[in-house]
Structure 1
Amino acid sequence: MGVAVLQPYPIPSDKTGQQTIELLTRRIVNLGATPSGQFAVDCEVWNSNQGGINKNLYILHNSEYPATVFSVIESGTKTVSITTEPLFDLLVLKIQSNSYYNKKIRIESKGPRFELKDFLIKLGSVTIGGTVKGILVEVEYLPAIVPVSCWNLIAEFMRGFLGSCVSGVPPPYIKNKAQDTYTPVDTIQQYLEQFNSARKSQR
């Protein structure tokens, strides 16, 4: 586990989502990357409005961590993140049967993953209800554990195959982490932010 950065990549007007993935695949293979399977990150959004208090429960799975379920609970201005075993999925089904949470939507980012020396690259097609909503590129720098120490290196690497869509300004989570150690929950938080942006764009 290193430090990962998620970067949205705009789908050109003359290409489909799949064609864009193929374009990016050619670029990183030309850099020397080798295919290393597939990946998937999915998110189910549940909602409760009991007693006039609106709560969202996000349940996320990452194929890199098959034995872990990531959950984020939002209530007003409070947010709580937890990691659990897969049995948590069964608990949520029980909650659903009691009509506490109503399933609203499923979002997924999946596609090919590649390795290039110290970097792991994942090209994900983001879908909501089976419709492609965008492309997310995850780049993980494996030797690092402190985000601020490797942001410039990751950004420079991403610009090599993504171009000018990569900002020169570190994302908020890197600034906020200061000298903190990066964890898998940080990757999940980034996916959740991007998934919520995709949801809002389709409203």
Structure 2
Amino acid sequence: MTGTTWVLQWKDAQGTASLGLLQERLLRGLRASLKGRWSLDTRLFRSPHNYLELQNIKNRGTASDKSMYLVVRGQGAARRQFIVMASNRVVVEAEPEMESILLRLKNLWTPRQSARIEGYSYEGDDWVIHIGNMMVGTSYKGLVIEINYLPCSNPDQTYGLMRELLMMILPADAQIDVNSGVDYRRAGLDPHCMTDRHTAYQYVHLFTQSSLL
């Protein structure tokens, strides 16, 4: 999917009730059409410290972060997978079998926490909005909103428009984590032309800055 994407969290959402509220405002207020179900899964993998890292801990009290996130977007034929390294310097699209491969390589990458977002997709004239309730393990962590504005891929030119769209569907007192401060350059991504890799990176940024994963 092309265009500009903004991923944020409604922290004090109330599960099914909040999901229903947004659906009503999208379908009636913005005259959106329901596209179908939508989901996103993220797994955190960690690699054991090797000998050099143990020496690093002993000598300097620190170690490099051997963490990796697997972001799986969509369902069925539309399912796509992305790998984001914890160093935030690599974001790549992975082959469909990557998840099963990682789960078999437990001596190299150990699965730790996981997050799952389940909800629905809605479509307007020039935008698509995904909304879904988020579970981290067995804990409910609010509602995630992904806004995609299709005509333009430069986030600098679309932030104001998407913010207005967000204000139309959210309650005025909603506690929002706007997922700010995403540095695409750190991951080698063009900050002025978004792709699906940028979206995967936004999800990992949201999870890490909020200490969700």
Q: Normalising to structure 2: TM-score of the pair?
A: 0.79
Distance 1:94 1:145, change over 3 A: same
Q: How does 1:106-121 map to 2 (within 5 A)?
A: 106-121=114-129
Identity of aligned residues (%): 21
Offset at residue 201 of structure 1 (A): 5.5
Amino acid of the structure 2 residue aligned with 1:40: S
Does residue 90 (structure 1) correspond to residue 100 (structure 2)? The answer is yes
Query: Which residue does the alignment assign to 2:146?
Result: 138
C-alpha distance in 2, partners of 1:111/1:58?
A: 21
Structure 2 residue 60 is matched with structure 1 residue 59: no
Alpha-carbon spacing, 1:178–1:162, altered in 2? closer, same or farther (3 Å): farther
Q: Which amino acid aligns with 2:102?
A: V
Aligned-residue RMSD, C-alpha: 2.8
Q: 1:159 to 1:174 in 2, by over 3 A?
A: farther
**Quick one: distance in 2 between partners of 1:3 and 1:21?**
23
Q: Is the 8 A contact 1:155 1:166 kept in 2?
A: no
Q: Which has the higher strand share?
A: 1
CA offsets 1:46-88 (integer angstroms, 9 cap, x no match)? 111322354001111111783532001225xx63212121122
Matched residues in 1 for 2:21 and 2:199: separation? Answer: 25
2:43 equivalent in structure 1: 44
Q: Unmatched 5+ residue regions in structure 1?
A: none
Kindly report which structure 2 residues correspond to 1:1-203, keeping only aligned pairs within 5 A, or say none.
Answer: 1-11=2-12, 16-31=14-29, 32-51=31-50, 52=53, 53-63=64-74, 66=78, 68-75=80-87, 79-96=89-106, 99-164=107-172, 171-173=180-182, 180-197=192-209, 200=211
2:57 aligns with none
Q: Which has the higher contact order (CA 8 A, sep 6+)?
A: 2
After TM superposition, give the deviation of residue 170 of structure 1 in Å.
9.2
Alpha-carbon distance change, 173 to 28 in structure 1, aligned in 2, over 3 angstroms: same
SS at 1:29's partner residue?
A: helix
- Deviating more after overlay: 182-191 vs 82-91: 82-91
Residues in 2 aligned to 1:197 and 1:179: alpha-carbon distance in whole angstroms: 19
Residue 139 of structure 1 and its aligned partner are, at CA, apart by: 1.0
Gaps (5+ residues) in structure 2? 54-63
- SS at 1:92 equivalent: helix
Number of aligned residue pairs? 193
CA contact (8 A) 2:128 2:147 kept: yes
Structure 1 residues 187 and 127: alpha-carbon distance in aligned structure 2, compared to 1, 3 A threshold: same
Structure 1 residues 14-68: Cα deviation after superposition (integer angstroms, max 9, x where no partner): xx31111111111111221111101111111111132235400111111178353
- In 2, the alpha carbon distance for the partners of 1:81 and 1:193 equals 12
In structure 2, C-alpha distance between the alignment counterparts of 1:2 and 1:180, rounded to whole Å: 11
* Alignment check: 8 A CA contact 1:11 1:134 kept: yes
- Rate the CA distance shift 1:67–1:111 in 2: closer, same or farther, 3 A: closer
Amino acid at match of 1:87: E
User: How far off is 1:94 after superposition?
Assistant: 3.3
